[in-house]
């Protein structure tokens, strides 16, 4: 039931467009009501929504014969903070730390067999260095590398088989900010140690967790 509902959602182009339109309306409304002060290099809370493209071998082991007829699409969000330790270069370059408190990501990949492979990622307390360049007031260009503890849950749509695991994933964030608007890209990579239950047998393996994410959100 869950798999069918989720598949209908990700395949409904009209729903995708409404989802994106709603995000833009909320973001630009927030920009208008936000206080007018310099937000280029400033400690603050960040939230963003994600639209991702998982790699062809996402959720598969190294060297596996992956019978995928499209890369699929992922949807998610994360919540975090920026903490700055100081400014250099005439206060135009901020040095700090980016923290992602919580993130969730859903995706599905259709296989040639007609089966759909479903994935859920949970990420907790990701952390890494942050550099922000602010050429003018209210503008920031962010670069950050993060390490993210990740829990991975996956299954198939047409038979009872699941696998779960955990490990560290990594991300490289490049983002542009103006006032509270946040737009960025974030390649993700790493491997997850998983346990798969198949016919009561437990199989341990490492799964690829690479995907390319587009981010749209707010940084206060």
- Identify the CA nearest to 188 among candidates 145, 135, 124, 143: 145
In the chain, what percentage of residues exceed pLDDT 90? 40
pLDDT tens, 132-148? 999 998 899 999 999 99
Asked if the model's pLDDT at residue 99 lies above 60, the reply is yes
**CA-to-CA distance for 155 and 196, rounded, in angstroms?**
9
Phi, psi of 147 (to 5 degrees): -105, 130
Domain spans, the chain: 2-219
Residue 5 pLDDT level (bands cut at 50, 70, 90): very low
- What does each C-alpha distance from 182 to 45, 138, 144, 170 come to in angstroms? 12, 11, 14, 20
pLDDT tens, 172-205? 999 999 989 999 999 999 888 877 655 555 667 7
CB 124 within 8 A of CB 101: yes
Query: Is residue 39 classed as helix, strand or coil in its secondary structure?
Result: coil
Is beta strand 44-54 parallel, antiparallel or unpaired with respect to 211-219?
A: antiparallel
Q: What is the DSSP string of 100-118?
A: EEEEEEEEEEEBTTS-EEE
**CA-to-CA distance for 193 and 97, rounded, in angstroms?**
27
CB 45 within 8 A of CB 78: no
Q: Highest mean pLDDT: which of 99-103, 112-116, 156-160?
A: 99-103
Query: Is residue 155 classed as helix, strand or coil in its secondary structure?
Result: strand
**The token pair that represents 101 in the structure block:** 């408190």
Higher pLDDT residue, 196 or 33? Answer: 196
Residue 33 pLDDT level (bands cut at 50, 70, 90): very low
- What does each C-alpha distance from 30 to 26, 84, 184 come to in angstroms? 6, 23, 18
- CATH class of the domain whose range is 2-219: mainly beta
pTM assigned to the model: 0.75
Residue 2 pLDDT level (bands cut at 50, 70, 90): very low
Question: What are the residues facing 76 on neighbouring strands?
Answer: 50, 105
Q: What is the pLDDT of residue 9?
A: 44
Query: Is residue 97 classed as helix, strand or coil in its secondary structure?
Result: strand
Query: Is residue 58 classed as helix, strand or coil in its secondary structure?
Result: coil
**The token pair that represents 99 in the structure block:** 């923290």
Tell me the pLDDT of the chain averaged across its residues.
79
Least confident of 5-9, 84-88, 184-188: 5-9
Asked if the model's pLDDT at residue 78 lies above 80, the reply is yes
**The token pair that represents 183 in the structure block:** 């737009």
């Amino acid at each position: 039931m869950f798999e069918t509902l989720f598949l209908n959602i990700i395949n409904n182009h009209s729903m995708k467009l409404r989802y994106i339109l709603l995000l833009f309306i909320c973001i630009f409304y927030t920009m208008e009501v936000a206080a007018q002060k310099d937000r280029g290099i400033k400690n603050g809370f960040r939230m963003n929504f994600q639209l991702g493209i998982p790699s062809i071998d996402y959720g598969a082991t190294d060297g596996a014969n992956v019978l995928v007829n499209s890369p699929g699409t992922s949807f998610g969000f994360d919540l975090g903070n920026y903490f700055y330790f100081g400014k250099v270069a005439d206060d135009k370059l901020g040095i700090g730390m980016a923290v992602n408190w919580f993130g969730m990501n859903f995706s599905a990949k259709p296989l040639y067999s007609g089966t759909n492979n479903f994935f859920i990622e949970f990420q907790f307390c990701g952390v890494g260095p942050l550099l922000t360049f602010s050429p003018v007031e209210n503008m920031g260009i962010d670069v950050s590398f993060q390490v993210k503890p990740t829990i991975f849950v996956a299954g198939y749509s047409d038979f009872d088989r699941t696998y779960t695991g955990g490990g560290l994933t990594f991300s490289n964030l490049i983002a542009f900010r103006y006032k509270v608007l946040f737009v960025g890209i974030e390649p993700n990579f790493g491997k997850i140690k998983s346990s798969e239950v198949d016919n009561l047998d437990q199989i341990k393996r490492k799964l690829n967790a690479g995907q390319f994410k587009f981010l749209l959100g707010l940084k206060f």
